[in-house]
Amino acid sequence: EAMTLYAENCAVCHGSNGEGIGATPPLNNPALLTMPYEDLYKTIARGRYQTAMPAWSIEDGGALSDYQIDELVLLILHGDWGETGDRVVNLGLAPLIPFTTEADPALLEEIGKLPDGATLQTAITLFAANCVSCHGADGVGTGIAPALNDPAVREKTVDEITRVITYGNTGTLMAGWGNILAPEDISALVTLIQRWEEVPSGTIPAPDVPIAVTEESLALGSQLYAANCSRCHGPEGQGTPRAPSLNVKSFLTETSDQAIQQIVTLGVPGTAMPTWGDRMTEAEVQAIVGFIRQWEPTAPEVAVLTRPGGGGPPWSRTDTSTTAPGLMPSTSSSTGTNTADATTNPLTGINGSGQTVLQAILDWRLLVLLGVILSIAFTLIYSGLDALRRMPRNTG
């Protein structure tokens, strides 16, 4: 339980293995092993004034019981930080390192043209430097902190939002920023939260860091991929007529873990790629991403699709000899002609003509079904005519 408590409440600041992140001190420091139990307990229970360390005791407005705080103290004094780090990763709670990202310069320039755009620019820069690790790219939220670009948050008053940023939110990971940020900076962040619908998607990207993996998470990813992804993308990610290859050099070298996680979580509208975020936890999605990523060192330059059952009729097959899937299809060649029809998007199954491979398969199946229906119809008509011919004629 102590490792789970640490993963859910402490790893975001102190690191997966207690190594400390940024200005947050490490907990795997041998010097702490000589620190009196009472001092460690008091620090966790009551926090440290004028720092990002909040009070965790229920008696001081925190979320942890005396027993839970005791478990954390024992973890610091006697725990295995290697096992703790694995637990953090397997729960999908490994913190983003670096903590910061940079706003898209082009989009930031466009935002400057909005009313009071300079304030929004300041707030976006502050958010990218201080808030993205918990509240996520574009403020969409993460497993440890809620979304801030939510309409429900925008309905809160200026005073409410200012109070939370300044003093923190008791019983959560949200520490007070009143001693770190100037009042005008906090005011700018409040403006951003209340006007987030005006900020283009992609303005604040996620930090580009690989998703952490363990033996357990890779095993989980393998199981989840086999059960949910292999039917369309192939058992080894080589692709099928239903969906293109994921196990190909161009896709894996050009697509970050964060991009793959977003595609798996949100799906691709208008394609056969469904949304998995409502059926899997964040840890499960990350396990799949980690499993896909481990193909990269041996990924082929050109994908060769798997064709179950002989590959279907000839008209449903696609020529893969020139296919080199990427996240987006190629739209031009050296001769200036459109070559989009020769490519297919990983995870979407869309070819250059806008038709999915699944639709192509359905087309020939419909033809077969139509043939069966017509055959039955002709048989019934013939049987009816034959019955009429055999009926005795009335000669009276």
Looking at residues 52-69, what average pLDDT do you find? 90
Residues 219 and 312 reside in one and the same domain: yes
Quick one: 221 and 193 in the same domain? Answer: no
Residues whose CB falls within 8 Å of the CB of residue 289, separated by 6 or more in sequence, listed in order: 211, 221, 257, 260, 261, 264
Asked whether residue 154 is assigned to any structural domain, the reply reads: yes
**Same domain flag for 173 and 221:** no
Instruction: Indicate whether 346 belongs to any domain.
Output: no
What average pLDDT does range 271-284 have in this prediction? 88
Domain-embedded: residue 328: no
What is the rounded CA–CA span in Å between residue 45 and residue 58? 8
**Separation CA 116–CA 311 (nearest Å):** 59
Residues 34 and 9 grouped into a single domain: yes
pLDDT value of position 304:
74
Is residue 41 situated within a structural domain? yes
Same-domain status, 128 and 182 = yes
| 24 domain residue, yes or no | yes
Last residue of a domain, one of 31, 61, 90: 90
Pair 130, 83 in one domain:
no
Mean pLDDT, rounded, for 170-182: 82
Q: What is the DSSP string of 225-250?
A: HHHHTHHHH-TTS--BTTB--SSSHH
Residue 23 and residue 85 in one domain: yes
Whether residue 69 sits in one domain with residue 31: yes
Residues 193 and 260 in one domain: no
- Asked whether residue 99 is assigned to any structural domain, the reply reads no
Structure tokens at 332: 């031009």
Q: What is the pLDDT of residue 141?
A: 85
For residue 313, name the pLDDT band (cuts at 50, 70, 90). Answer: very low
Q: Six-digit token pair at 320?
A: 């893969």
Instruction: Tell me the residue range of the domain where 45 lies.
Output: 2-90
pLDDT of residue 18: 93
This prediction has a pTM of 0.49
Residue of higher predicted confidence among 271 and 202:
202
- Give residue 329's pLDDT: 34
Region of poorest pLDDT, from 2-11, 73-82, 230-239, 318-327: 318-327
Q: What is the count of structural domains for the chain?
A: 3
Q: Please report the pLDDT score of residue 166 as a whole number.
A: 92
Give me the pLDDT at residue 97, please.
Answer: 62
Mean of per-residue pLDDT scores for the chain? 81
34, pLDDT greater than 50: yes
Kindly state whether residue 164 falls inside one of the protein's structural domains.
Answer: yes
- Whether pLDDT at 272 is above 80: yes
Domain end residue (candidates: 262, 292, 316): 316
On the question of pLDDT at 231 being above 80, the answer is: yes
Tell me: do 109 and 76 sit in the same domain: no
Domain harbouring 270, CATH code: 1.10.760.10
pLDDT at position 308 over 80: no
Q: Based on the domain organization, do 194 and 232 belong to the same domain? A: no
% pLDDT > 70, the chain: 79
- Beta carbons within 10 angstroms of residue 356's beta carbon: 22
pLDDT of residue 21: 80
> Taking CA 368 as the corner, what is the angle to CA 366 and CA 369, rounded to the nearest 5 degrees?
60
Residues 122 and 189 in one domain: yes
Mean pLDDT of 258-285: 86
Last residue of a domain, one of 134, 166, 198: 198
pLDDT at residue 197 tops 80: yes
Asked whether residue 52 is domain-assigned, the answer is yes
What local confidence, expressed as pLDDT, does residue 324 receive? Answer: 34
Torsion angle (degrees, nearest 10) of CA 55, 61, 66, 72: -30
For residue 377, name the pLDDT band (cuts at 50, 70, 90): confident
- pLDDT reported for residue 363: 56
- The mean pLDDT of 121-139, rounded to a whole number, is 89
